[in-house]
Structure 1
Amino acid sequence: MKTLTEEMSTLTRIAKGIAAQFGKDCEVVLHDYTQSYESTIVLIENGHVTGRKVGDCGTNLGLEVLRGTVSDGDQYRYITQTKDGKILRSTSIYLRDEEGKAIGALCMNWDLTEFYACNSALKDILETETGAVEEVITNDVSELLDALIQDSVRYVGKPVISMTKEDKIKGLKYLDDKGAFLIKKAGDKISKFYDISKYTLYNYLEQSTEL
């Protein structure tokens, strides 16, 4: 596959088929990574599950695949949660070109919230293979970047005001590994949050490659 466009008809039929099979509580999303990460969603069925629509952004898991932090990236039957508390069982499959580069993703998010209310009777259907995966689902790439920045602070284990140079390098490496710098103008927001200049930011990132 060279581009998603040439397979769009087939991918659309697959997405509609999955949504029809599992019903209105199963969201099916197609991301096109040749687009800006602020608007990777090119097709969505049952978008009410997460509140997203065509033109919205990808998640942090996609950023890690694009950054190369994870070599494969496909995830099956993992549990995640929406901002409004819905419990989802999700699968993310990355679509690649002839050279193996990720050019898109087909993702399924099945809302199991009501099943969890009856979990004793439905224990078998709720069992997962890979356990909980922290995936940030949002329609605003700025919120996605904010979440990654807060994750970096938790990873370092201290507030920015108390961080040493080495701590900041550690936090910036975390963000780089997570693909945060693939988001447009992420450097401006991250340097401001870490209270460093853009020059220092790139200097620290260069030093982080030695860790």
Structure 2
Amino acid sequence: MLTDDKLKFLSQIGKALAQQFGNNCEVVIHKIDPEDMNHSIVMIENGHVSSRQLGDGPSQVVLESLKKDPNRLENHINYLTRTHDGRVLKSSTLYLKDEQGNLEAIFAINYDVSNLIVAENVLKSLTKTEDTGKSANPEVIPNDVNELLDDLIQESVRLVGKPVALMNKDDKVKSIQFLNEKGAFLITKSGDKISKFFNISKYTLYSYIDLKK
């Protein structure tokens, strides 16, 4: 469990990093409490970067971490994410564990590199003679848990490759088990929204979760 002393220490580090690298550097601490993941953010600096604030909910990375064996969690350093308004962030995620090896907090750094990418593209346009670039598809950082749930549902639909109206049972099972693996059902009242979206009962929903792949 994340103690007040640990949170204070981590918050000091987070504040120092945010001040060191300026307003484009967001630092977030998520407290891991499976009983209340709707309000996981217990510290945030420069929250304007992702439009989040103290008391907001988790990102997809946080939810996924709860579905994994803590012993297999490895720090994820230097990868791309993006905000819903299209800004690109350079991110790092650190998994913090207690003495028993249980995940107790996630320390995340998100640096807005959008302006740097614009400058880079301008320079490339002056030096390149042939466009060989490839588009990236970074993970979206949601503003709240409802937005995160909507994103996950749409991702499950893209996974199947057809709209809900055309899905058969196997398609829906695939989508729902994907959502379970991503931690969607850790969000409060997510079962109601997901069962309504897929036009099935909650009993059917949970039976699909339990089906073996």
| Residue aligned with 1:15, SS | helix
* Alpha-carbon distance in structure 2 between the residues aligned to 1:58 and 1:47: 13
Which residue matches 2:112?
111
Which residue matches 2:36?
36
* Alpha-carbon distance in structure 2 between the residues aligned to 1:58 and 1:72: 17
Task: Return the letter of the residue paired with 2:175.
Answer: G
Distance 1:171 1:73, change over 3 A: farther
TM-score, L = length of structure 2: 0.87
When structure 1 is superposed on structure 2, of 155-164 and 26-35 the one drifting more is: 26-35
Structure 1 residue 93, shift from structure 2 partner? 0.7
Structure 1 residue 4, shift from structure 2 partner? 3.9
| Residue aligned with 1:203, SS | helix
- 2:154 aligned to which of 135, 150, 155: 150
Distance 1:32 1:132, change over 3 A: farther
Which residue matches 1:126?
none
| Residue aligned with 1:151, SS | helix
- Tell whether 2:197 aligns with 1:193: yes
Which residue matches 1:90?
91
- Tell whether 2:147 aligns with 1:138: no
- Tell whether 2:185 aligns with 1:181: yes
* Alpha-carbon distance in structure 2 between the residues aligned to 1:72 and 1:17: 26
| Residue aligned with 2:140, SS | coil
Which residue matches 1:58?
58
Structure 1 residue 73, shift from structure 2 partner? 4.7
Gaps of 5+ in 2: 125-134
* Alpha-carbon distance in structure 1 between the residues aligned to 2:161 and 2:82: 24
Question: Can you list the C-alpha shifts for 1:9-51, whole angstroms capped at 9, x where unaligned?
Answer: 2111100111122111100111111272211111111111111
Structure 1 residue 111, shift from structure 2 partner? 0.7
Distance 1:69 1:58, change over 3 A: same
* Alpha-carbon distance in structure 2 between the residues aligned to 1:173 and 1:122: 45
Asked whether the 8 Å contact 1:115–1:122 carries over to 2, the reply is: no
Taking every aligned residue pair, what percent have the same amino acid on both sides? 46
* Alpha-carbon distance in structure 2 between the residues aligned to 1:149 and 1:20: 36
Distance 1:180 1:156, change over 3 A: same
TM-score, L = length of structure 1: 0.88
* Alpha-carbon distance in structure 2 between the residues aligned to 1:116 and 1:107: 21
Asked whether the 8 Å contact 1:38–1:183 carries over to 2, the reply is: yes
Structure 1 residue 64, shift from structure 2 partner? 0.6
* Alpha-carbon distance in structure 2 between the residues aligned to 1:61 and 1:68: 11
| Residue aligned with 2:200, SS | coil
* Alpha-carbon distance in structure 2 between the residues aligned to 1:145 and 1:121: 36
* Alpha-carbon distance in structure 2 between the residues aligned to 1:132 and 1:6: 39
Structure 1 residue 61, shift from structure 2 partner? 0.8
Task: Return the letter of the residue paired with 2:192.
Answer: D
Tell me the matched-pair count. Answer: 201
Question: Can you list the C-alpha shifts for 1:44-63, whole angstroms capped at 9, x where unaligned?
Answer: 11111111110111101111
Gaps of 5+ in 1: 124-130
- Tell whether 2:15 aligns with 1:11: no
Aligned CA-pair RMSD: 2.1
* Alpha-carbon distance in structure 2 between the residues aligned to 1:133 and 1:16: 29
